[in-house]
């Protein structure tokens, strides 16, 4: 019985943590990416559609973009976000949607 209660508690914690996770789209908005980028058209920076097209066949696209955002190299500023957040935003941008 104790192990069932333990597993139910663990499952609850995992589900609660997942419920708080933000999508790439939500993160892009909350981290102010959309001030300089748009989904379809160029603003200050390229559109996500153009970014997706540029990196379409690049297997290292995610790592390359995350590195640029993390270090501020090839991107005007370092983006204050965790690695998981950077990966989620990058995956979103690479969809081009």
For residue 81, the domain's CATH number is 1.10.760.10
| Segments forming the whole domain that contains residue 59 | 23-95
Mean pLDDT of the chain: 84
13 is a domain residue: no
pLDDT > 90? residue 74: no
> Per-residue pLDDT tens for 7-29?
444 544 444 444 457 999 999 99
Q: How many domains does the chain have?
A: 1
72 is a domain residue: yes
* pTM, entire model: 0.75
pLDDT at 19: 44
What residue spans of the chain are helical by DSSP H?
2-20, 24-30, 48-54, 61-71, 83-95
Q: Find where tokens 């559609």 sit.
A: 49
Q: Between 64 and 15, where is the model more confident?
A: 64
8 is a domain residue: no
Mean pLDDT of 32-40: 95
């Amino acid at each position: 019985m104790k192990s069932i209660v333990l597993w139910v508690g663990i499952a609850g914690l995992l589900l609660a943590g997942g419920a708080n996770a933000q999508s790439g789209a939500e993160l892009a908005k909350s981290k102010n990416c959309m001030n300089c980028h748009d989904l379809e058209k160029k603003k200050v920076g390229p559109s996500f559609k153009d970014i997706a097209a540029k990196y379409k066949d690049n297997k290292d696209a995610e790592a390359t973009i995350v590195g640029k955002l993390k270090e501020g190299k090839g991107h005007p500023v370092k983006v204050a976000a965790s690695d998981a957040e950077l990966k989620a935003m990058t995956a979103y941008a690479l969809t081009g949607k």
